[in-house]
Amino acid sequence: MRFTHLCILLFTLSFFGLFNPTFAQQSNSPLSATDYDQTIPTHTQVLGYKVGERITNHSDMLRFFEALQQAAPQRIKVFEYARSWEGRKLIYAVIGSAENIAKLDEFAIKMQKLADPRVTNERAAKQLIDTLPASVWLEHGVHGNEISSTDAAMMTAYHLLAAPNDPRNKKILANTLVFIDPLQNPDGRTRFTSRYYATVGMSHSGDRLSAEQNEPWPNGRSNHYLFDMNRDWLAITQPETAGRVKLLNHYKPTVVIDLHEMGGDESYFFPPAAEPINPHMSKAQLENTAIIGKNIGRNFDQHGFDYFTREIFDAFYPGYGDSWPTFYGASAATYEVSSSRGELYRKANGETMHYIDTIERHFVASIATAEAVADNREKILHDFYRYQENAIIEGKNDKTERVFIMPNVRDKAGTHRLATLMAQHGVEVKQASKDFRACGVNYATGAYFIDTAQPRGRFVKTTFTSQVDMSDAFIKEQERRRARKLNDEIYDVTGWSLPLMFNIETNSCGKEVDVASTPVNANTALQGEVLNPSAKVAYLVPWGDMAAGRFLTGALQAGLRVKSADKAFVLDNKNTYPAGTLIIEVKANDNNVAKQVSELAMQTGAKVVGVDSSWVTDGPSFGSGYTVAMRAPNIAMAWDEPTSSLSAGNTRFVIERQFNYPVTAIRSNRLASADLSHYQVLVLPSGNYAQALGKAGAENIQAWVNQGGVLLTIGSATRFAAQADINLLDVQRENLFKEEAAVKTEDKKSTVAGKLIKSKAELIKATENNDESPDYVAGILANVEVDQEHWLTAGVNPKLVAMVVGNSIYSPIKLASGKNLAWFADEKNVLASGYLWPEVTQQLAYKPFLIHQPSGKGMVIAFTQEPTSRAYLDGLNVLLMNSIFSAAAHAAPLR
């Protein structure tokens, strides 16, 4: 006999003192008694308040799970898996029958076997499938202000433990292991809860105008570095993400659910997902999420809960918490509940939603998910095995892109970073131990290669191929909607190729590579080296990768005197060194310079060449005016309103954690009148600075620039700088280009001359504004060409890839004012990956990406798009480093 979820939920709510008679009256199902184990502590007993009565904070959540483990150690295990930037513990709990929990380590080993058909044949796989439980991984609270899922996680855990004899629970515990990650973002939730309760007065307010419903900057969605961690699964930049990736690769749970919140006026979303669907996902995976969704729908119907499917939330981008697991074979999905964003919320229709309402829905969906997995245990495990098997077969049958090879000649630091990142994802990566030839191309020892004929082959395909296409039908529908002036339905970026974003040379081959090699793992270190460590004259660090970049920041902070060559040079008719090469002169530094250089090389992986002569036969000499002294700049960054928190966080993270250099965050409104003379570089992340700074603020910044400051504008901050009344940057933002001449606006009259409209197309055209912006681009990768004859582009590859988001396109700067140092490629080649509207493709061609404008003794450097987006555009990091450190060296303030 199957108990309905309503019966279980109502008894649970009654037990906690939260029974809502209105809720009962809405149901068509009778109440039933469930015997709860009184030895399992309740929410009230542990925390002193009822479920939904208060938004549980991080420390209370930890206490509750610790209490559950203490009460039922044979049926629940709680483990720490990471620490946040602010030092908070991230935990996961595993709940199952005593027998399954006792075999947890064995379960992980067997899942690894099931995940590799190369070592586990059909017969052995069947034996595993016959005995293994399926597994459900429930992810909660990756966005810290999406509050209900953490309390729902606690409710789910309590219910599974306190009602082990309930027929539904019995089935779940016997056939599945339920993994619960109750809070993926403790820093963000702590930010939310502390600020929320600081605004509460005599009673809670559900008014959307109230302080409770309006979080201050940067709100609780993001983590300490203001990352949207649901977009961090490709680059794995945050410790929270790294911990989860390691866990999922260890246990390989067969169903993964990411529980979220959406707008308070919505209902509830669960799969099937919306279009587009990533083509590297399997039909069986989509079937399984649909089966689960149908079971949730049955339960929601019983409760009278509204819901929707197949809208908004797609399954295309592989870097979400619900999409990344699909590429090791899991069936995964997102659930979204309407958010109360506090304890009360008044909906647009006048209804009041309580916090418990949102918890209930996530709770019901979670139990329904576990039930569906238990009912389909064998199918889900079988589909998991088939996914791996098919991935290997597809790899072997691919005659063009079976193997991806990274020659590892240019940008060794970036290539190493990409190789170890793929290993961190669980991909098998190898490094050649000798020279080899593949598909007619010779490769040297040290080249990396990835064969897609492996279980993670589909993940390699979706992240290494330059283009993953949306379906023709979906694209056709988006173009139809645009023609009707309707919003498109593209949810997130459409281009994400890792080799392109890292700007790493990558070739493909349709044949297996046969060469002696060693496996690469996530912790494989980049080896630095110092040639001639006892150099008499200088140590040279060739510029052009992040190993050299981190060497520079380390050297500056260690107090070493460093120079940089603006141009390439040849030393003593022998070796050529690229523009930007660092020069550490022995006599200009302390006696322990050799030791310092050696330690920095080992720490950063940089290649250092010691030289005994400074005789340059071509290019600038060490004492040339084209060889500048590098200095340790003080970097200020605009912080708080009106900056984009994501842009500010991403940029600060890249500088602090990838460049290893400190940044001082300054509240944006202070910049309008602050004395900035202590700082050499000011970074304005994306943001609308018009009100926070205004003309007076721009004048203050302009005066600082004229005295030798470096202003760096990013994304929409460039839009502010280019405003006519601000005039920090001598460019203009373009409207949408139209073939016909713009129609002049007539003086407004009561009547106008009559016109004939003969088609719907003419009707749409007649409704267009004369000065429209280009259509918004969700996110594509674009090819960028780089001027090679300027110090700002020293060591930068002639061709880069940038991300384009939004609708800002700028006119080129005139030579009288500055230079366009990087620009988007021609119309035919501008699109590197993703889908770009045809007219935007035309207009974006040859428009600036990086602009340099001297001003007095300082300069303005403007990126028209964000080079730090999600911290996964590693290929732009050298250009960004130059824009900070080389720019500060070339500015001319009074020293």
pLDDT tens-digit readout, 157-183: 999 999 988 999 999 999 999 999 999
Q: Compute the average pLDDT of residues 662-675.
A: 96
Least confident range of 71-85, 98-112, 762-776:
762-776
Q: Cβ distance 313 to 269 under 8 Å?
A: yes
Nearest to 501 by CA among 189, 143, 114, 871: 871
pLDDT given at position 770: 65
d(CA 277, CA 315): 5
What is residue 28's predicted lDDT score, i.e. its pLDDT?
A: 32
Q: Which stretch of DSSP H or E encloses residue 721?
A: helix 716-721
Four-residue CA torsion sign, 405, 410, 416, 421: negative
- For residue 58, what are the CA distances in angstroms to 4, 87, 635? 31, 12, 33
Cα(807)–Cα(30) distance, rounded to whole angstroms?
Answer: 55
Distance of alpha carbon 318 from alpha carbon 462, whole angstroms = 8
SS3 sequence of 407-462:
CCCCCHHHHHHHHHHHHHCCCCEEEECCCEEECCEEECCCCEEEECCCCCHHHHHH
The two tokens of residue 468 are 């993953």
Contact of 268 with 365, CB cutoff 8 Å: yes
Backbone angles phi, psi at 108, to 5 degrees: -60, -40
Sorting pLDDT into bands at 50, 70 and 90, what band is 701?
very high
Interval 26-47: pLDDT, tens: 333 322 335 789 999 999 999 9
The answer to whether 665 and 656 have CB atoms below 8 angstroms apart is no
C-alpha closest to that of 110 among 238, 252, 5, 225: 252
**pLDDT by residue (tens digit) across 186-221?**
999 999 999 999 999 999 999 999 999 999 999 999
Query: Where residue 21 falls among pLDDT bands split at 50, 70, 90?
Result: very low
pTM: 0.94
Q: How many residues does the chain have?
A: 895
For 531-577, the pLDDT digits (tens) are: 999 999 999 999 999 999 999 999 999 999 999 999 999 999 899 99
Question: How is residue 305 written in tokens?
Answer: 């809960």
SS3 509: strand
Q: How confident is the model at residue 135 (pLDDT cuts 50, 70, 90)?
A: very high
pLDDT at residue 727 tops 80:
yes
Cis peptide bond upstream of 854, omega within 30: no
DSSP designation for 776: P
**CA 308 to CA 320: how far, in whole Å?**
20
How do residues 490-516 score in pLDDT, each as one tens digit? Answer: 999 999 999 999 999 999 999 999 999
Please report the pLDDT score of residue 34 as a whole number: 57
The mean pLDDT of the chain is: 93
Look at residue 772 in the predicted model and tell me its pLDDT.
84
Helix H segments across 40-166?
43-47, 58-71, 98-102, 104-114, 122-131, 148-162
Distance set, CA 306 to CA 22, 52, 298, 492, 720 (Å): 16, 20, 11, 26, 43
Residue listed under structure tokens 């991230």: 90
**Percent of the chain residues past pLDDT 90, beyond the cut:** 90
Whether 174 and 210 have beta carbons less than 8 Å apart is answered as no
pLDDT in the model for residue 23: 33
Q: Is 8 a residue whose pLDDT tops 50?
A: no
> Would you state the structure tokens that stand for residue 132, as one six-digit string?
């293994």
Element holding 94 (H helix, E strand): strand 89-95
List the alpha helices (DSSP H) in 605-693.
645-653
The predicted pLDDT at position 73 comes to 98
**pLDDT top residue among 832 and 764:** 832
Structure tokens, 701: 């910044």
Which residues is 432 bridged to in the sheet? 517
